[in-house]
């Protein structure tokens, strides 16, 4: 199964690389990017690559914050579970009283 994952990863990398080569060959023009007072002229393929990388990094950052939130919630729930278990244990030790 591990070999299939590696083969799949290699195939995916080759497909992405070949798509990148085809895209670069088909779009040799430059694009002008204006941001506030700066203007940058770059090839379209470089602009798309940078935009993709920035989006990927932003997604990883958002995922990291979400994971931290889940870890904190898990810690809180474990603490509440320990408190509830200790309360149940202490209540089991009490004698039962009849409701007459």
Q: Give the Cα separation of 31 and 43 in Å (integer).
A: 6
Q: What angle do CA 30, 26, 15 make, to 5 degrees?
A: 115
pTM of the full predicted structure? 0.60
Query: pLDDT (tens digit, 9 = 90+) per residue, 16-66?
Result: 889 888 888 888 889 998 888 899 999 888 888 888 899 999 999 999 999
- Give the tokens for residue 61: 């950052």
């Amino acid at each position: 199964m591990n070999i299939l994952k590696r083969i799949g990863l290699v195939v995916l990398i080759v497909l992405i690389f070949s798509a990148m080569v085809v895209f670069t060959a088909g779009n040799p023009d430059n694009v002008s990017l204006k941001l506030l007072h700066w203007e940058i002229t770059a090839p379209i393929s470089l602009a798309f690559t940078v935009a993709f990388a920035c989006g990927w990094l932003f997604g990883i950052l958002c995922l990291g914050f979400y994971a931290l939130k889940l870890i904190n919630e898990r810690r809180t729930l474990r603490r509440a579970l320990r408190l509830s278990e200790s309360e149940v244990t202490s209540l089991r030790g009490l004698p039962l009283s009849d409701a007459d």
